[in-house]
């Protein structure tokens, strides 16, 4: 079964849909039973049976089945937000006195949550590479958490190598955030990762009208999480949001190649521009992790960062304010192009810890025409102090032509 069929049709021809082209949205908060015995049996298996909205329902279950199939996982559990999925997943794997290894830069609130767990006796250590993992691992290390591409810097991790290292170190559980690539462009479970998390608010939803998250993996890890942390934290996905996930998945195989094409076009333009010091896009051959990315990914999304040729935050603000087609805002992965600058929203000490320079700007390239977005960026870059004109674009693009995966 290929990904396009999973996204568009998996589970949608079953009797419970009654032939509806859009699967029904089950709005009821509870389900009733013919006998007390049936109720008791359902509650004991509430991770699979329909009892109460906080557990699951048919609409949410269909979204979960599709997402699990896309990631080649046994089971999935959808949450009311990406952080709901991340918090429940980490909590399910650690106890007081345990230790977590964090490899590379990860989503800021994930680090905040790990700091929050310190008051319950769970510690963590950030490391930059696998060599540092060897020296940072402890007797009570239980979990290795990472992203690839990494947060803001978009560095590439050799997923199979990291997963093999973790298995060889007392069977550490690996959890990877795969939101950047979506299940279409990267499948970490097939490379040895134990659990994968996603923010469904991004490319999967695709229309900036949904907040949701999911964790995917083997039943031996998903079932206890579903019965305990999912139920107790109460971060349940609503059936209406699940319906948006299902609709987003239907067009995901069409949208992602379009995001890839536009994202690479913009990245190529920015590479070598006098107003830009560096472009952090793993789809460019100049990216340090490009070769590994080609090996473990089947495509590239359109979220990346650039370092402007300035260390002055007021110049960064001018650049953002000059943009007309890139909207200023958080989040990413929707149809609209967005821009954000950590220097304007994050404390300097926090940025220093994460290695984020003052001139770093994150771009989420949407589905508008690439030429329109490039013209917008060019005009905004000219406003940066000390930038005068442009270099020869045609020669620059020839040298930086990326290898685009077939889709």
Report the catalytic residues: 54, 107, 177, 202
Q: What is the phi-psi region of residue 75: left when phi exceeds 0, alpha when psi lies from -120 to 50, beta otherwise?
A: beta
User: What are residue 174's DSSP bridge partners?
Assistant: 144
**DSSP SS3 for 152:** coil
The residue whose two tokens read 């005009």 is 379
User: Which of 154, 163, 139, 4 lies closest to 69, judged by CA?
Assistant: 4
Alpha-carbon 103 to chain mean position: 16
The residue whose two tokens read 């709005």 is 27
b vs e for 313-328, b when ≥16 Cβ sit within 10 Å of the residue's Cβ? eebbeebbebbebbee
**The two structure tokens encoding residue 178:** 């795969």
**CA 146, 147, 151 angle in degrees (round to 5)?**
115
Give the length of the chain: 407
**The two structure tokens encoding residue 63:** 């979204």
Q: How far apart are CA 267 and CA 173, in angstroms?
A: 35
**DSSP SS3 for 75:** strand
Q: Return the number of other C-beta atoms located less than 10 Å from residue 382's C-beta.
A: 15
């Amino acid at each position: 079964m290929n990904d396009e069929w999973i996204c568009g049709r998996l589970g949608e021809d079953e009797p419970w849909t009654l032939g509806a082209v859009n699967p029904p949205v089950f709005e009821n908060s509870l389900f009733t039973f013919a006998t007390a015995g049936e109720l008791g049996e359902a509650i004991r298996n509430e991770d699979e049976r329909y009892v109460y909205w906080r557990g699951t329902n048919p609409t949410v279950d269909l979204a979960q089945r599709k997402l699990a199939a896309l990631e080649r996982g046994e089971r999935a559990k959808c949450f009311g937000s990406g952080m709901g999925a991340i918090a429940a997943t980490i909590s399910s794997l650690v106890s007081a006195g345990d230790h977590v290894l964090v490899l590379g830069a990860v989503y800021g609130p994930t680090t905040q949550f790990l700091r929050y767990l310190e008051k319950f006796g769970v510690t963590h250590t950030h490391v930059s590479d696998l060599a540092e993992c060897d020296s940072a691992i402890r007797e009570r290390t239980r979990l290795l958490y990472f992203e690839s591409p990494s947060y803001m810097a978009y560095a590439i991790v050799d997923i199979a190598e990291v997963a093999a290292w973790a298995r060889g170190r007392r069977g550490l559980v690996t959890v990877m955030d795969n939101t950047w690539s979506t299940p279409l462009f990267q499948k970490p479970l097939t490379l040895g990762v134990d659990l994968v998390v996603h923010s469904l608010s991004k490319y999967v939803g695709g229309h900036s009208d949904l907040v949701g998250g999911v964790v995917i993996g083997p039943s031996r890890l998903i079932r206890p999480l579903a019965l305990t942390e999912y139920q107790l934290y109460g971060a349940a996905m609503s059936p209406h949001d699940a319906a948006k996930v299902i609709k987003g998945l239907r067009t995901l195989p069409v949208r992602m190649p379009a995001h890839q094409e536009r994202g690479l076009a913009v990245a190529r333009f920015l590479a070598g521009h006098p107003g830009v010091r560096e472009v952090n896009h793993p789809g460019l051959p100049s990216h340090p992790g490009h070769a590994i990315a080609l090996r473990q990914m089947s495509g590239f999304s359109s979220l990346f960062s650039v370092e402007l040729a300035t260390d002055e935050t007021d110049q960064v603000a001018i650049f953002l304010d000059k943009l007309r087609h890139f909207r200023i805002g958080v989040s990413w992965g929707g149809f609209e192009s967005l821009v954000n600058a950590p220097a304007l929203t994050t404390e300097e000490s926090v940025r220093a810890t994460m290695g984020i320079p003052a001139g770093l700007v994150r771009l989420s390239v949407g589905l508008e025409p690439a030429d329109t977005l490039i013209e917008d960026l060019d005009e905004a870059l000219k406003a940066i102090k000390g930038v005068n004109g442009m270099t020869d674009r045609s020669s620059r693009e020839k040298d930086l032509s990326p290898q685009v995966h077939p889709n």
